Amino acid sequence: MLAWLTHQGYWALFLGMAAESAAIPLPSEVILPFGGYLVASGHLTLLGALLAALAGGMAGGFVLYLVGLYGGRPVLERYGRYILIRPEHMAAADRFFARYGAASVLVGRLLPGVRTYISLPAGIARMRAAPFLLYSFLGSLPWTLALLLAGRALGAHWRELEHSMTRLYAVLAAALAVAVVLWLVARRRR
């Protein structure tokens, strides 16, 4: 896999991120740091890697958006299990999207786990394509750039990032949960 990524370069980043964003379990936490390593080793440029990864993520996310838009809930209920989508995932995404609307795409693309699936409720809710793509891009940019830069900084030690990401997820999830609770409390007081 890593040899293929090295040989294919930008196309590998595009395809890997498209697959990850289309709910195929290829973790961006491995693909992007390795892309950063390829930047550090001179195989790719940072801008090229960033554009390839973002384009792939947008393409994969748009596929799921279209599944939600044209197939809706019946398709997900019938075939979702094949891409690891369970009914409780759909219910949570529906609640989140109903509450926060289009901004949920922006926030959702920043969150591990949520980032892959937020496209589905956006399609089901019939969000217009242009705002969906804009918010998806804006939410994907920091995540993609951060992991590419981390991989570049780590150089040959990029694999160590994969192990650290598990801890980082827990911290980010806790911080996000606290932020959401504080925001909800402030909103309720108003």
pLDDT tens per residue across span 56-96: 999 999 998 998 888 877 877 777 777 667 778 777 777 77
8-34 per-residue burial string, b: 16 or more CB within 10 A, e: under 16: ebbebbbbbbbbbbbbeebebbbbbbb
Q: Identify the band that residue 3 occupies on the pLDDT scale cut at 50, 70 and 90.
A: low
Distance CA 9, CA 63 (A): 23
Predicted pLDDT at 5: 65
Q: How many other β-carbons are positioned within 10 Å of the β-carbon of residue 3?
A: 7
pLDDT tens per residue across span 89-144: 777 777 777 777 778 888 888 877 777 878 888 888 888 899 999 999 999 999 89
Q: Report yes or no: 117 and 30 within 8 Å, Cβ to Cβ.
A: no
| Residue 150 one-letter amino acid | A
pLDDT tens per residue across span 169-190: 566 666 767 777 777 777 677 6
